[in-house]
A = this chain, B = another copy of it.
Amino acid sequence: MGRRSDHTRAELRELLLQTGHQLMAQVGYARFSGREVAKRAGYSVGTIYNVFESLDGLLAAINTRTFVLWSRHLQKRLETGGEDRIASLVEGYFTFALDNPQTWSAIYEHRVPEKDSLSEEDLEGRGALTLIVEQEVRTALPEDTGLDVARYARSLIATVHGHCSYVVSGSFALLDETDPVGSALDRVRESLELHQQRR
């Protein structure tokens, strides 16, 4: 078979991305296969290399999609959650990871070969989550704080991330942790309270 016109370039990209994301959710990063994605999409392997530059490109796009879904999840939690918006964020961080362990883990299992190989689109999609947190942290702090809020927000994200990754990977559960979300929230609160008082 030669050239086809079943889908436009954009449609084909979306088809492969959607199929790939679905496969990732089903089998996880370790058993993910580009050939399988192509087969399910009804195309040949080479098409992936045509649409995305490499398999890493497809993987990066899949993970960016996960990031976007994650950001939306946080936004929704903020909207429907209670007054404690910081708690909404921390809980939202965990619930998304626990509800989507395969796609969430894939974000951190896929090591991008070169640092600057992420497209501008990928970077933007991934940065959204940080921005959401930064906004809420800024609101939670006094206006005249001398803190680099962006940097501080990232540190709080890292704090929560550490707790979350232990849970999803199972090494925290191995030690019978009962309430990792609570622990993470405790650490975040302790820090925030200190910085709310200092002025």
Residues of chain A touching chain B, judged by Cβ–Cβ distance below 8 Å, are: 28, 30, 105, 108-109, 111-112, 115, 118, 123, 126, 130, 151-152, 154-163, 165-166, 169-175, 177, 180, 183-184, 186-187, 190-191, 194
The CA of A151 and the CA of B186, in the complex, are separated in Å by 12
Q: Identify the interface centre among A112, A123, A175, A184: most chain B CB within 10 Å of its CB.
A: A175
The interface residues of chain B lying within 8 Å CB-to-CB of A159 are 158-159, 162-163, 187
Q: Say yes or no: A115 contacts B173, CB within 8 Å.
A: yes
**Complex Cα–Cα for A175 and B160 (A):** 17
Instruction: Check A172–B194 contact: CB distance below 8 A.
Output: no
Q: Tell me, in angstroms, the Cα distance from A109 to B30 when the chains sit together.
A: 9
Q: How many copies of this chain are found per oligomer?
A: 2
Residues of B within 8 A of A177 (CB): 151, 154
Residues of B near A28 (CB, < 8 A) are 111
CB-nearest residue of chain B to A179: B151
Bound form: Cα–Cα A116–B39 in Å: 35
A172 close to B158 (CB less than 8 A): yes
B108 touches A170 (CB 8 A): no
Look across to chain B and name the residue whose beta carbon is closest to the beta carbon of A114: B170
| One of B108, B123, B172, B187 near A165 (C-beta < 8 A) | B108
- Return A128 CB to nearest CB of chain B, in Å: 13
Instruction: Provide the bound-state CA to CA distance between A123 and B170, in Å.
Output: 13
Contact indicator B172/A154 (Cβ below 8 Å): yes
